[in-house]
Amino acid sequence: MSDINRYDSTLTDQRRAVLQGDCENCFGLCCVALPFGASSDFAVDKHAGQACNHLQQNFRCGIHDRLRPQGFRGCTVYDCFGAGQKISHLTFKGKSWREAPDTAKLMFDVLPVMRQLQELLWYINEALTYPAARSLHEKLGDMYDQIERLTLLRPEEVMKLDIITHRMEVNELLLQISEGVRSAAASKAAPQTKGGKRTKKIGRGADLIGANMKGADLRGANLRGALLIAANFANADLRGADLIGADFRDTDLGGADLTDSIFLTQSQLNAAKGNHATKLPPSLTRPAHWTTVAR
């Protein structure tokens, strides 16, 4: 495949399709491997390695169409980035943990590691679509190929990977792209004012839990890893903002403009609140529960 074809929109769209969870082609791994506790996100407690009571023999969820009303909002937010189906049909050759109980623990242990690798692939693929990344296409392409090869290793080899190192290597490239995108967007943003909501500390890892950022001009803002839980971002302008790892649980995005925000994932949107007026990047979809917003 030529370098030119590696970065066209058709390829990035094809990659997006496989870098999202496909429950129909997974052995219900997240329903067994992952633990959760009774909370606003889950109705009951469940230990790691214990199958959810709603997991059926065909590995489908018995309440999939009513997870939120039944108290399993956390399930609607989780995205394995395609790790589930890859483990089920490539790593373990289509043999389920029910068919081969002796492989169950290893299969479940591989899921969190594979998910991180798939997440890195998703971010790299998204980065390739940003104009600011053109000068880094070759490096990004090589990095994508490198990480993808890791996802094809035998399960025992996957468990030995130094995920932190790989995340740091990918993040170095993503930061370069982020700086370029944010710089261009920030140059168009309105000056911050004293005494208003825009004076709150905005930056990587910012604590904006419950903050009122309604209508704020946050073009080009660095919100990497920011805590935005239950914050009011209604009608805020987030074009060109870096949202990688930001916690959007119950964040009000009604009417907000996220069209050119970067590294925003579907799972972040699923955790937030929004409405018909919320503007999204074209690669993401409006969550079904976005009918009304709290404020």
Q: Are residues 248 and 119 part of one domain?
A: no
CATH of the domain at 250: 2.160.20.80
CA dist., res. 116 & res. 80, Å (int): 8
- Percent of the chain beyond pLDDT 70? 92
Mean pLDDT of 117-130: 96
- The interaxial angle of helices 104-127 and 163-186, nearest 10 deg, is 30
**213-256, pLDDT tens digit by residue?**
999 999 999 999 999 999 999 999 999 999 999 999 999 999 99
Given 126, 149, 183, the domain boundary residue is 183
Under a CB-based contact definition with an 8 Å cutoff, are residues 234 and 228 in contact?
no
Q: Are residues 137 and 15 part of one domain?
A: yes
Burial of 37 (0-12, 13-18, 19+ CB in 10 A): exposed
Under a CB-based contact definition with an 8 Å cutoff, are residues 265 and 123 in contact?
no
Q: Are residues 212 and 101 part of one domain?
A: no
Residues 6+ apart with CB under 8 A from 294: 250, 252, 273
Mean pLDDT over each residue of the chain, to the nearest integer: 91
- 122 is in which domain, residue-wise? 3-34+78-183
Q: Are residues 221 and 142 part of one domain?
A: no
Given 125, 159, 183, the domain boundary residue is 183
pTM as predicted: 0.90
Per the structure, how many domains does the chain have?
2
Given 151, 183, 215, the domain boundary residue is 183
